[in-house]
Structure 1
Amino acid sequence: MDILEIIKTRRNIKIFKLDPINPDKLHLWLEAAAMAPNHRMTEPWEVYIVGPETRAKLNHKTNFGDAPVVLAILSKHGATAIETEENALATACFVQNFNLAAWAEGVGTFWSSMGGNPKNREILGVPDGYDVIGVFGVGYPDETREPKQRTPIQNKLKQLL
């Protein structure tokens, strides 16, 4: 697949096959994710591989679609409010790189925002000074849904003179 096809076909996966993810592939996708743009090379992301005990405590309503891997992606706060915001944006780019690299090899993700909940932060052991950008199920899709209708991009374009 070329990059445009990868971007256009990637979906948030809700149900996964139980097939394991090759740890070397996971590492490769994380390395690709780390090529994300980040202001002043802060590299603010941290990746937690969530094991079965922690995953059970999180009590996600769908158990992350039975994904074989669950990751929590964190963003470190900066020295200023602006740097904290830049770090969160850079970490979102990290996530997108990861999602696209995995999708290129037939592996999908389920992005949940549940990590921002104070109880889940405690379960994950998130230290002060970090935001949880998301908790992700990662695996081979058992179901891929059709894309939802998007607003035509021409409706979002503004020309400044």
Structure 2
Amino acid sequence: MPHTEQINQHSSIRDIIRNRRSIRKFKVEPVASDIMLEMLDSAVYAPNHRLTEPWRFIYVSSETGKKNLANQYISFFKRTKPDLTEEKVQNVKNTLSGVPGFLLVVCKVDENERAKDDDFAAVSCLIQNLQLLAWEKGIGMVWKSGPILYDKEMHKAFGLKDDERFAAIIQTGYPDEMPKVKDRTPVRERFTEL
């Protein structure tokens, strides 16, 4: 598997969890869709109350698909940021063009508030599973969120139903640059025993 030596120096789940990083600089080569499907086939074994399986996925890695996604981003920013300059538009285009693939994670939105929370928690667990499976294969990801996930025009452009929304837009590819490790707060400082 390409680029694995760069990431996977250990094989225990503990090491993969602790060593995984959000990747923002990628090599040009996209992750093949069969590899993405293979990882998703395992990632769906996330905890999921009532086994609702509230997810589906749209993989964007073709030049046409990526251009469409970039246009949707720019359209969104123009609608929501009236002071958007041409320079900022170009920055958005440049940033997105440096990403080999995007996995759009779609989440079903239940009318029941508790079920909606349970479903989003399950989708979040799935995304973490996917990131760990990817890291094990030498694939990097960064989980992107923000107001665009709720944008109805964006939903329409990608065929979302009325009871769906984006849970994440995951940028993915083979890492070209490794971020430095950031220290975490020792868990003892956030741990109470009763």
TM-score by length of 1: 0.90
1:68 aligns with 2:82: no
Give unmatched runs, 5+ long, in structure 2: 1-10, 75-91
Partner of 1:56: 70
Q: How far off its partner does 1:126 sit?
A: 2.6
Partner of 1:147: 181
Residue-pair matches, total:
159
CA distance in 1, matches of 2:50, 2:149: 26
Instruction: Please list every run of at least 4 consecutive aligned residues from structure 1 whose deviation after the TM superposition is greater than 6 angstroms.
Output: none
**% same residue:** 32
Partner of 2:18: 8
Q: How far off its partner does 1:96 sit?
A: 0.6
Show CA shifts across 1:35-83 (max 9, x none). 11100000101111232232221337321x7222111101112241100
CA distance in 1, matches of 2:160, 2:121: 19
Q: Is the 8 A contact 2:30 2:173 kept in 1?
A: yes
Q: Is the 8 A contact 1:36 1:93 kept in 2?
A: yes
2:112 to 64, 71, 80: 80
1:116 to 120, 141, 149: 149
Q: Is the 8 A contact 2:106 2:164 kept in 1?
A: yes
Q: Is the 8 A contact 1:57 1:123 kept in 2?
A: no
Q: How far off its partner does 1:117 sit?
A: 4.1
Q: How far off its partner does 1:110 sit?
A: 1.6
1:107 to 135, 139, 148: 139
Alignment-mate amino acid for residue 126 of structure 2: F
CA RMSD of aligned residues (A): 1.8
Q: Which has the higher helix share?
A: 2
CA distance in 2, matches of 1:39, 1:54: 35
CA distance in 2, matches of 1:117, 1:143: 30
CA distance in 2, matches of 1:124, 1:152: 41
Alignment-mate amino acid for residue 43 of structure 2: A
Partner of 2:163: 129
TM-score by length of 2: 0.75
Equivalences for residues 10-49 of structure 1 within 5 A: 10-49=20-59
CA distance in 2, matches of 1:78, 1:69: 29
1:90 aligns with 2:122: yes
| Greater Rg by CA | 2
